[in-house]
Structure formats: C-alpha cells, structure tokens
Amino acid sequence: MKLLPKIIIFGFGVLAFLPFLAPVFMHFGLTGPAEFIYTIFVPFCHQKASRSLHLFDYQVAFCARDTFIYFTLFLASIFSYVFRLKTIKIKYLILFSIPIALDGGIQIVTQIIALQAGHPTDYLESTNLRRMITGALFGSAVGFFIFPMLFQDVFESLKKEKNLAELKFKGILLKVSKLSTWKFIFINLAISFLFYLVLSLAWFFTSDVYKPSGIIDNEHRIPGLNYEIEGRGDHAAFLFGNK
C-alpha cells in the first residue's frame, strides 16, 4: 500500500516524459528505439503531426493536448501525495472537462461536415496553444479529483502502522505550504504554461525547417491546406507562411 503513490507517480512520469525521447532518438538515427516509443503510445494518442509539438523536426509521440494532460496528471500526483491535498468536488471535474470537450468536439463535428460537403480542409481546427490549455485544465481536474482519494488510504494505513516519522514530515510540509487544492491547480496550470513556452523554444531552436509559428504557437494547421504530412515520426512540412 505504501508503494502505491510512488508507483503511480513513476508511471505518470514515464507517460509525461518518455514521448519526448522519440524525436530525440530519430534525430540521432536511433530509429528502432524511436519507433518503439511511437508504437507503444499509439493506444494513448492519435499522433497526428499537425497537432503535435516537435523536436529536431520530428513530432513528439503525444499530441499537444495529450502531452499536457499527462504532464498535469504527473504534477497532480506529486502534489497530492506530498501535501496530502483534499479532492475537488465532481462538479469542478465536470466544469474543467467542458473546454476540452468543446475544443475537440467542435473540431471533429466541423471536420465531418466539411468532408460531407466536399471541402475537407474547410473546418475549425484547434491550435497547439488551445490544446495545451484545455489539456492542462482537464488533466489537473482529473488528477486532483482522483489522486487525493487514492492516497488517503495510504495515509490512513500509515496512521495504523504508527509510522510517525513519515507522517510528521508530511505534516510539516502541509503546514509550511498552507495551500489549498485550488491553489495547487493554479500552480499546475502556471507550470504547464511555462513548460509549453520552453517546449516551443526548444522546437524552434532544434528544428531547421519545421518551426512553430511563434513562442505560443497559436496557429491553425490543416493538412492539405497549410500543412503537408500527417504521420507519426515523419517530417511535417508547412506549405506556406513564415515557416
């Protein structure tokens, strides 16, 4: 029982950061490990290049939205365990799920309508910035709804085992922080935005041809219109603009 939080934190850490090794491996010619990473994450993500961040001109194994869903879940697991946070109410989980449902839903619905109308590129495509925001909101809400409940059993178990040293340490952290779960949600979102800026800069400086539109990369990329290639691990070329 005591190992459960650490296993969960480690697992979400792998989900959050392993996808970034795929483009790095591709860059250094290690196609085998790169393809392995791309493949194992297929069940988790559609891996469309136009909806993904890139490093060294290769896409990350997660799309931008999933990148920040798992990144914020990872952060939430750490904060929930270290600071013994209380779970948020389910109504807030639903509220934070609305932006991702709208952003992804509008994209899918308008794409279907465009295909039926014979105009496959005439639909409302999201942007990496919006994917980051909606993914971070959703991941934070899910994380702070689930992890505090899961870890509560661990703390109850520690009390029964009278593991006073560990409980005292966590109690000190709790008193020092004096932060509610909601404040940690905002911390989660702030860290996510900073991480997004770092990734955009890393994309810009490591790529020679296929660069982001700017530091916040808030551009609509539509394959066949202003984006050339759809496919994981491939170079994804912009057809026009300031790329």
Domain residues for the domain of 176 are 4-206
Rounded Cα distance, 64 and 19, in Å: 11
In a domain, 219, yes or no: no
Whether the predicted pLDDT of 91 surpasses 80:
yes
Residues contacting residue 15 through CB under 8 Å, at least 6 positions apart: 44, 70, 73, 74
Whether the predicted pLDDT of 119 surpasses 90:
no
Rounded Cα distance, 220 and 124, in Å: 8
- Top pLDDT among 150 and 116 is at 150
Q: Categorize the per-residue pLDDT at 166 as very low, low, confident or very high, splitting at 50, 70 and 90.
A: low
User: Average pLDDT in the 197-218 region?
Assistant: 93
Q: What pLDDT, on a 0 to 100 scale, did the predictor assign at position 4?
A: 87
In a domain, 177, yes or no: yes
Q: Categorize the per-residue pLDDT at 228 as very low, low, confident or very high, splitting at 50, 70 and 90.
A: low
Whether the predicted pLDDT of 16 surpasses 60:
yes
Q: Categorize the per-residue pLDDT at 161 as very low, low, confident or very high, splitting at 50, 70 and 90.
A: low
Q: What pLDDT, on a 0 to 100 scale, did the predictor assign at position 93?
A: 97
Rounded Cα distance, 41 and 33, in Å: 13
Q: Could you count the other beta carbons within 10 Å of the beta carbon of residue 192?
A: 22
Tell me the chain's radius of gyration from C-alpha atoms.
20
SS (H, E, C) the chain: CCCHHHHHHHHHHHHHHHHHHHHHHHHCCCHHHHHHHHHHCHHHCCCCHHHCCEECCEECCCCHHHHHHHHHHHHHHHHHHHHCCCCCCHHHHHHHHHHHHHHHHHHHHHHHHHHHCCCCCCCCCCCHHHHHHHHHHHHHHHHHHHHHHHHHHHHHHHHHHCCHHHHHHHHHHHHHHCCCHHHHHHHHHHHHHHHHHHHHHHHHHHCCCCCCCCCCCCCCCCECCCECCCCCCCCCCECCCCC
In a domain, 234, yes or no: no
In a domain, 157, yes or no: yes
17-41, pLDDT tens digit by residue? 999 999 999 999 999 999 999 999 9
Rounded Cα distance, 4 and 239, in Å: 48
Whether the predicted pLDDT of 187 surpasses 50:
yes
Residues contacting residue 21 through CB under 8 Å, at least 6 positions apart: 33, 34, 37
The residue type found at 27 is: H
Q: Categorize the per-residue pLDDT at 125 as very low, low, confident or very high, splitting at 50, 70 and 90.
A: confident
In a domain, 99, yes or no: yes
**Contact call for residues 141 and 88 (beta carbons, < 8 A):** yes
Q: Categorize the per-residue pLDDT at 154 as very low, low, confident or very high, splitting at 50, 70 and 90.
A: confident
Overall number of domains in the chain: 1
In a domain, 132, yes or no: yes
User: Average pLDDT in the 48-64 region?
Assistant: 93
Q: What pLDDT, on a 0 to 100 scale, did the predictor assign at position 107?
A: 87
Whether the predicted pLDDT of 167 surpasses 50:
yes
Give the tokens for residue 88: 């948020």
- Top pLDDT among 67 and 164 is at 67
Whether the predicted pLDDT of 70 surpasses 90:
yes
Q: Categorize the per-residue pLDDT at 236 as very low, low, confident or very high, splitting at 50, 70 and 90.
A: very low
In a domain, 189, yes or no: yes
Residue 47 to residues 136, 150, 169, 242, Cα–Cα distance (Å) = 18, 30, 42, 24
The angle formed by the CA atoms of residues 193, 207 and 215, to the nearest 5 degrees, is: 30
In a domain, 71, yes or no: yes
- Top pLDDT among 238 and 134 is at 134
Quick one: what percent of the chain has pLDDT higher than 70? Answer: 80
